[in-house]
Amino acid sequence: MGQSFVSIATEEREKMAEKKKINKEILPREYGCEILLEKTTIEKAKDSSFPNDAYLIWYLVNEEYYVDLTRCGKKSSLFDMYYDTYGPGAVQRIDFGYGRVNPRLWGYQKTEKRKKK
């Protein structure tokens, strides 16, 4: 006869798990977040030109620690985003960033003045 039902079901589970790994990426807009620096160093994140509502998040993936600088309305949304992406035990620490710029003014660019005729 062919393969047994158990081996077919096992193969299907493995394929589903593999698809989940491939589709597993951070979608910050779904959580109301914005990633400013991903997998960066503390020295780069200490730049004071970032907005003062940004958070530093330390997380663990495959026995390696990473740091991201992320803006989010609530810390719980930030935690949920990383928990859903990397799984339980990944989030190690969430702390305030070092930015000093007002969030409303961050990224603002002056418009060019038109010449009068």
Question: Per the domain annotation, does 92 fall within a domain?
Answer: yes
Domain residue limits at 32:
28-96
pLDDT more than 90, % of the chain: 54
What is the per-residue pLDDT across 44-85, written as a single tens digit (0 to 9) for each? 999 999 999 999 999 999 999 999 999 998 999 999 999 999
Q: How confident is the model at residue 34 (pLDDT cuts 50, 70, 90)?
A: very high
Q: Sheet of 91-96: strands edge to edge?
A: 33-40, 64-72, 54-61, 91-96
Residue 29 is predicted with a pLDDT of 87
Question: Per the domain annotation, does 82 fall within a domain?
Answer: yes
Distance of CA 39 to the CA centre of its chain: 9
Residue 88 has pLDDT above 70, yes or no: yes
What's the structural domain count of the chain?
Answer: 1
Q: What phi, psi does 51 have (nearest 5°)?
A: -70, 150
Question: Per the domain annotation, does 48 fall within a domain?
Answer: yes
Residue 107 is predicted with a pLDDT of 79
